[in-house]
């Protein structure tokens, strides 16, 4: 059996390279060719794709999904799902999580990849149960990071837990692209020995080592790798699909993809990419690897956000200082993996600590919520002195955060009854309230679109 391939061009590829601005029309221009390639699955949906559709492209993400589905007769469709956060940035009630899973599957998704930023499996439970209930394939992704607590033993123990939860497959999600080749070999070997789940590897070329890491993971028996069609590969994105087909052809790992279909899809997408380069949407810098992330262990998306935030404040001279502060904040907070939303929270706190010249003098609301336990359990203990400095003697919850959230779906349906025309619309409103309301008003009542500014820092990091 060769290695299976999931192509990420239509989700992570354009999220990593062009701020998730690929349009449905562009996607549909190559979808028939992609459906002929012979992929294990196409990753087509996730938080940023959903958000960008309604915020920037004035497109209904549910329509996009249905259109992709109608063209993909042979290929499974996959989405990325942030556990109890669904596609948003906070915890939702279980009934909203369940309804979102139900509607995603109903509209065409086959495989739901669920992850939690903290690897707190209680935050995965509802999404996993719901995916099984409605007949989807549930993949659980473990957020990969490095720290004194994130050892191979830690990941093996976690993998056994998610297997017991009912996951159909397991993904190592290296959103920062910091997994080293030999570490990947050991990790995949140990996971293969400890569980019977198919193992998938998701990496990024940001640090320039991803192909080497994939190759070693393949030798260790990884079942599936995430790659992107070449025009949307490399740099901060995934390795190129075609490169892996050519590299593995004729070996025991041969993915056996249809090269002619790949060439046709690439010819179409190269024209799209050329337009992105011309318009400036694709910054050539994003296509170059940045091995310094291996030193700082900070995701590429966080580095670029950090730079733009410091530039805005005329404080680029503090860049190195902030980079040194990020690992310190992480340690204080119990080593959370730097993935949405924790990457934004840790980054913002590091900037505040440096700019105010006093650590934790200013603290974002989200950090105080994290310290109260509202995001789940931190991987290691939070520094008790820092916690006391920020939240004093406040009690910290130890139960699953969503246990405190009463059902929301029916109330949302009632609240937006004059605006919505389907349960899908209710879910759009649940996740992205003001942006969703504006979008739906425009969609159904043809009111003019209002252009809004967003703070890039609270937007999406690479996942």
What is the contact surface with Co ion in residues (CB under 5 A)?
A: 12, 175, 463
* Residue 342 CB, nearest approach to Co ion (Å): 15
Question: Looking at beta carbons only, is 175 or 402 nearer to Co ion?
Answer: 175
Backbone φ and ψ of 41, nearest 5°: -165, 165
**Closer CB to Co ion, 114 or 261, in the complex:** 114
71, 150, 182, 325, 421 from 176: Cα distances, Å: 32, 15, 17, 18, 39
Our CB check for Co ion shows the closer of 205 and 351 to be 205
Cβ proximity to Co ion: between 201 and 427 the closer is 201
CB nearer Co ion, residue 150 or residue 387:
150
Residue showing tokens 């080293």: 180
Q: State the pairing for strand pair 4-7/224-227.
A: parallel
Rounded distance, CA 308 to CA 315, Å?
10
Query: How far apart are CB 399 and Co ion at their closest, in Å?
Result: 30
- Residue nearer to Co ion on the CB measure, 37 or 175: 175
Round to whole Å and give the CA distance between 260 and 271.
Answer: 17
Burial of 433 (0-12, 13-18, 19+ CB in 10 A): middle
Q: 452: exposed, middle or buried (C-beta count within 10 Å: 0-12, 13-18, 19+)?
A: exposed
Beta carbon of residue 15, minimum distance to Co ion (angstroms, whole number)? 8
Specify the residue, 173 or 359, whose C-beta has the smaller distance to Co ion.
173
CB 24 within 8 A of CB 58: no
Quote the DSSP letter at residue 70.
H
Residue nearest Co ion (C-beta atom): 12
Q: Are 346 and 326 in contact (CB under 8 A)?
A: yes
Cβ atoms within 10 A of the Cβ of 251, count?
11
Nearest distance from residue 79's CB to Co ion, in Å?
A: 13
């Amino acid at each position: 059996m060769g290695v299976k391939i999931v192509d990420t061009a239509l989700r992570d590829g354009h999220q990593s390279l062009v701020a998730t601005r690929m349009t449905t029309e562009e996607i549909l221009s190559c979808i028939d060719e992609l459906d002929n390639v012979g992929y294990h699955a196409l990753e087509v949906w996730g938080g940023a794709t959903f958000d960008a559709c309604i915020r920037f492209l004035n497109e209904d993400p549910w329509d996009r999904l249905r259109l992709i589905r109608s063209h993909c007769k042979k290929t499974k469709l996959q989405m990325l799902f942030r556990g109890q956060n669904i596609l948003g940035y906070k915890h939702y009630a279980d009934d909203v999580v369940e309804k979102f899973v139900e509607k995603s599957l109903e509209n065409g998704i086959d495989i739901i990849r669920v992850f939690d930023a903290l690897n707190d499996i209680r935050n995965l439970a509802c999404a996993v149960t719901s995916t099984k209930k409605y007949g989807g394939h549930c993949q659980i992704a473990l957020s990969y990071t490095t720290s004194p607590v994130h050892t191979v033993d830690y990941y093996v123990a976690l993998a056994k837990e998610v297997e017991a939860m009912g996951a159909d497959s397991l993904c190592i999600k290296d959103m920062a692209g910091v997994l080293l080749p030999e570490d990947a070999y050991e990790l995949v070997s140990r996971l293969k020995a400890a569980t019977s789940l198919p193992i998938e590897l998701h990496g990024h070329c940001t640090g320039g080592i991803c192909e080497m890491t994939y190759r070693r993971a393949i030798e260790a028996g990884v079942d599936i790798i995430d790659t992107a069609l070449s025009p949307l590969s490399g740099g901060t994105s995934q390795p190129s699909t075609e490169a892996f087909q050519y590299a593995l052809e004729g070996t025991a790992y041969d993915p056996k993809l249809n090269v002619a279909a790949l060439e046709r899809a690439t010819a179409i997408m190269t024209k799209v990419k050329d337009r992105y380069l011309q318009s400036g949407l694709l910054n050539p810098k994003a296509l170059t690897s940045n091995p310094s992330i291996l030193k700082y262990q900070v995701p590429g998306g966080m580095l670029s956000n950090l730079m733009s935030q410091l530039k805005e404040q005329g404080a680029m001279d503090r860049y190195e200082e902030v980079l040194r502060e990020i690992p310190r904040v992480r340690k204080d907070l119990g080593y959370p993996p730097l993935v949405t939303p924790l990457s934004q929270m840790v980054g913002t706190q590091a900037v505040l600590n440096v700019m105010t010249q006093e650590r934790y003098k200013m603290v974002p609301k989200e950090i105080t919520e994290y310290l109260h336990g509202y995001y789940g359990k931190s991987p290691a203990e939070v520094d008790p002195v820092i916690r006391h400095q920020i939240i004093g003697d406040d009690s910290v919850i130890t139960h699953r955060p969503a246990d405190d959230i009463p059902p929301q779906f029916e109330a949302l349906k009632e609240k937006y009854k004059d605006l919505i025309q389907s349960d899908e619309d209710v879910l759009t409103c649940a996740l992205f309230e003001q942006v969703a309301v504006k979008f739906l008003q425009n969609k159904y009542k043809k009111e003019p679109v209002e252009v809004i500014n967003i703070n890039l820092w609270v937007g999406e990091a690479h996942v």
